[in-house]
Structure 1
Amino acid sequence: MKNNYENIESLIKNKTITLTKYPKILAAVLILCIIIYYTLFHVKNLNPIEELNFNFFQNRSYKLESFKVDEEKMLNANSKQIFFLETHLEQNRTLSNPRQVCSVEAAARTNPDMEVYLFLATNKSDVVLNHNDFLDVLLSYPNIHIRYINTSEYTNGTKLQNFFEIHDLSKSPHRIEHTSDILRILTLNKYGGLYMDLDVLSIFPIRMIDKINFVCLERSTHFSNAIIKLDKIEGKKFSDVYLEKVMKDYNPDLWAANGPDMVTPAFLSFCNGTELPLEKTGQCDTLTAWANQKCFPIMFGSFSKFYEDNFKDEVMKKFHETGSFFIHIWNKMLAFGNKSYKLYKNSTAAYMEVAKVFCPKTIEKTEIFRRK
């Protein structure tokens, strides 16, 4: 035993002597150790852009292009395009919600003849995302384009050119929602097309309703802004009315004031003489008010049925009976309550059955669809 200890001690001494013979190598090793230590334990103090660029040990990064690279194409698309909008970019620079990724993939698969844009709103002019499997899923589709929109740049030359300077949305307790509410209508006003929230699945080709400008009734007396289709000619008449009302009646304090609660008075103003409630699909001028089951076959009060195996048959039957072009899965409702809606790949819940068909690549990259 003593000899073993002596051998180990001798080995350590020899290694030490060897290293001291090469001071430059020793210095280089020490510097590398300091760099690794600083990167792993101090990089959190950097701002998000610096963190993404510097933290090369953990993440690859993907630099986004501005919406301007596609502007000419969007202006000349004859409104045959689909838009999604993400306004949480300043908080999260990773596409990490599989349900949102599924919605974008579903739109691209269902509508291969249309361009699909995922706009990420920011006040910066240089945007980098973490590069992960979900980003790769979206980039694998040639008709999906992920772009950032700088709000001041995006509103330049529009009705809202001075709006974001007059109204500092960053001071609103609902700044994320209000930014999204306003920019979605501005997008349709500028380019024309279909807007969908990131918790909406497109399950039929939009070309089947190509000529229709529509808003969706959530209830017989109230419209939603989760799904809106407006072209930039006839549909622009309604989006103009909406934006005028936003500029006049902007309310920073109420969550739905500039979105869902703004669609209803805008519709009544545009469709002068129309009265609510509307129990079925109606039309004024070139704008259609779709009955709620056309857009929302399962309402928010029953949202949990999407995620529970024993309701699959009931939910799937509802989809077929209503002939809806869309499935709204009510992501916001998942944020409430304590129940965990955790879905595994082998789940037979209605959501998973639909997702396997319309967003198979997202499913392939996801082990669990969590509640949040």
Structure 2
Amino acid sequence: MTLRLTFFPLRIFAKIRRKLILALFGLLVSGIILTYTFQRDVKKEITYFIWKQAQLQSNSTNVPRPLKDVLLTEPKPKPGRTIFFLETTRIVRPKPEMMNNMLQLTARQACAIESAALHNPTFEVFVLFAGATYRYHENSSQHQQPIIDAILSYENVKLRQLNLRRYVTGTPIEDWVKYGELFGSSFLINHISDLLRFITLYRFGGIYLDMDVVLLRSMEDVPLNYAGAESDSHVASGVMSMAPHGFGHQFAKYCLRDFQRHFDGDAWGNNGPGVITRVIQRVCRTKNITLMMEDEKRCLGFKVFDQNAFYAVPWEDWRHFFDPNLQKQTLARTKDSYLVHIWNDVSKQINRVGSRTAYGIYAQQHCPRVYAVAAEYF
């Protein structure tokens, strides 16, 4: 009897303990289920909120939107059938606020773009902005960019942005750029522009043009792989063409290798015209520009145009474009040119061209829609 009384409470305690354990386990499982359900519902709410905000923004024409990335967006540039312009002025100190990175083009830049689109309708014209660039929808109440509308009235004009780090990935100069020597340049904007034009031709082939030119006629039928002499000693990098495959692609690779090997951050022209000149000299096995122009076979098919093709008016004579007294002389001087180079670095101080100047006549004839909007303010 004593033995039974001794073990009875122990059995009762064992039963209670099992019930407590089961109850606690049930509470734990319920808690896990409730927590999971709560987190799932919260995630759904957050996802819906983000989606709703995106929808509201996408439906709001007053919200600035970034330009699409050239490497991530269709249609991409047609290899060998694209003319490229580069805008790099905001890549050095981009502002965190999108309002300070809004899409802008000067009348001269827009004129260059329109003249390319007008005279080369079967080519795409890609304008690449280095760094984040935003623009309002054309139906936005904030949209007041008649110059932009003028160039976008051409179906072959595309506006894109590029990310420098992404753009160099997969090119022969990728590691060097990421190492950072480029960013110690004393002329950073200019040297980034120099680099990007060679990377662009390496990636896609086609034609690169400076944004202070005016095309006077088509370049669609000019065989790829060419540049133009600026003087008796230098080939310029303001107009360059390289095929997307074969020798043209190899030539672009040579240019990137030379850019890296001879980079000088304290020399303004060393990394642009210096690169194309050095590479052509090696390919043609001569420093004599006249020999390069006379014998294409010597240069393995890479054509060096004479000065008249792209630089008939040298930079020292830039005022000739804006002097009414020199109008006829300047027009005669450029009558056989493919394009004229306005030398904006030195001529930007003049912002009214006038209809009686050579540049005013070029603009009226070769970028008529931009001229109609900007009038004489170029």
Q: Please classify the TM superposition score into its range, dividing by the shorter chain length.
A: 0.7 to 0.9
Structure 2 equivalent of residue 318 of structure 1: 333
- Tell me the SS of whatever aligns to 1:327: strand
What does residue range 194-205 of structure 1 map to in structure 2 within 5 Å? Answer: 194-205=207-218
- Tell me the SS of whatever aligns to 1:227: strand
Q: 1:73 to 1:350 in 2, by over 3 A?
A: same
Deviations 1:318-368 (CA, angstroms, capped at 9, x unpaired): 122xx2111111111214xxx745224xx2111111111111111111144
Task: Say yes or no: does 1:227 pair with 2:244.
Answer: no
Indicate the RMSD between aligned Cα atoms, in angstroms: 2.3
Q: How many pairs are equivalent?
A: 300
**Which residue identity is paired with 2:120?**
N
Structure 2 equivalent of residue 365 of structure 1: 373
Task: Give the Cα separation in 1 of the matches to 2:282 and 2:73.
Answer: 33
Structure 1 equivalent of residue 118 of structure 2: 109
Q: Based on CA coordinates, which of the two structures has the bigger radius of gyration?
A: 2
Q: CA deviation at 1:238?
A: 1.4
Task: Say yes or no: does 1:291 pair with 2:284.
Answer: no
Deviations 1:25-50 (CA, angstroms, capped at 9, x unpaired): xxxxxxxxxxxxxxxxxxxxxxxxxx
Q: 1:277 to 1:212 in 2, by over 3 A?
A: same
Between structures 1 and 2, the one with greater strand share: 1
2:154 paired residue among 141, 144, 152: 141
Structure 1 equivalent of residue 353 of structure 2: 343
- Tell me the SS of whatever aligns to 1:237: helix
Deviations 1:14-34 (CA, angstroms, capped at 9, x unpaired): xxxxxxxxxxxxxxxxxxxxx
What does residue range 89-104 of structure 1 map to in structure 2 within 5 Å? Answer: 89-90=90-91, 93-104=102-113
What does residue range 20-169 of structure 1 map to in structure 2 within 5 Å? Answer: 61-70=64-73, 73-74=76-77, 77-90=78-91, 93-122=102-131, 124=132, 127-129=133-135, 131=143, 132-169=145-182
> Is contact 1:85-1:120 (8 Å) kept?
yes
Structure 2 equivalent of residue 178 of structure 1: 191
- Tell me the SS of whatever aligns to 1:275: coil
Task: Say yes or no: does 1:236 pair with 2:220.
Answer: no
Structure 2 equivalent of residue 187 of structure 1: 200
**Which residue identity is paired with 2:244?**
K
> Is contact 1:99-1:369 (8 Å) kept?
no
Q: 1:71 to 1:224 in 2, by over 3 A?
A: farther
Identity %: 26
Which consecutive unaligned segments of at least 5 residues does structure 1 have? 1-52
Deviations 1:143-167 (CA, angstroms, capped at 9, x unpaired): 1001000011111111122222113
Which consecutive unaligned segments of at least 5 residues does structure 2 have? 1-56, 95-100, 137-142
What TM-score does the superposition give when structure 1 sets the normalisation length?
Answer: 0.75
Structure 1 equivalent of residue 17 of structure 2: none
